[in-house]
Amino acid sequence: MRIKSVIILLFVVLTTALSAVPVEDFLIYNDFDKGFELAKAMNKNVMILFSSESCIYCKQLKQNVLPADDVSNFIINNYIIIELRADQNKTGKFDVENAAYSESGKEYTYEELFYLFGIRGVPATGFFDTEQHYLGTLPGFYNKDEYLKWLKFIQQKAYENGDINTFDVTNCCVGDEIKILEINAITLSNMQKTFPELLSYWSFEKFKTLNFLSLDTSKIYIIRDTKKEEISAFVKELNKNNLQNIYIVN
């Protein structure tokens, strides 16, 4: 019987504050295609942070908003975030006809992507769903609470039923369903290269002894030498009020 290495991304609703995660630990800088490939494998939304080195508000967004506990945790659990600058020497693929990222799409320079997405000023945040279709761009700087509301609005697909002004963020984003998604070793390797600081490695026996009420939501828990069936049986016994989703990697 083949033994599998399993990665679990735990989404835990905590009542106590967690230490902020530096934005550099979970942000993919200037690599459009890599970010989308990773998001596809992990079944996550994508957010593009259009920025420039000289942009004061971009720096404020990265220093004061993105690393905030609740913002960074929500991004890590639900999005792949890519910072993009208008580089003429780098390219990314995009299918204009279907308004979606595609590995077979036409190559555009990053400067052309700025124009393609209508970016007239920075910062701006572009959103894509888990199917990697372009949803739209949020221009400008927002404070922590406003920005997080937009993140939740997109993640919950609330745009299908109304606009941001009618979105009730207070009752958002906690559910009973525990989803288990398998991703492969190539994705794990990409994660290790992209945000190694977020990965935490455990044996299954040690993992079962963790206090799930105090887990750090910024961490990705990698469980070695176990099987999906064992993980599935174990998580079914956990308090679902403290979990949103679980992802596993073989």
Average confidence (pLDDT) over 85-97: 96
pLDDT at 170: 84
Sequence letter at residue 224: R
Burial of 49-75, coded b for 16+ CB within 10 Å and e otherwise, reads bbbeeebeebeebbeebbbbbbbbbbb
Give the N- to C-terminal CA distance of the chain in Å, as an integer: 14
Average confidence (pLDDT) over 33-44: 91
pLDDT tens, position by position, 216-238:
767 788 887 777 788 888 877 77
pTM for the structure as a whole: 0.82
Question: Whose CA is closest to 134, among 164, 107, 100?
Answer: 100
Report residue 132's pLDDT band, with 50, 70 and 90 as the boundaries: very high
* CA angle, residues 78, 83, 88, in degrees to nearest 5: 145
pLDDT tens, position by position, 54-73:
999 999 999 999 999 889 98
Average confidence (pLDDT) over 31-43: 92
pLDDT at 152: 95
Q: What is the mean pLDDT of the chain?
A: 85
pLDDT tens, position by position, 145-200:
999 999 999 999 999 999 999 999 887 876 545 566 777 888 888 889 888 988 88
Report residue 11's pLDDT band, with 50, 70 and 90 as the boundaries: very low
pLDDT at 246: 63
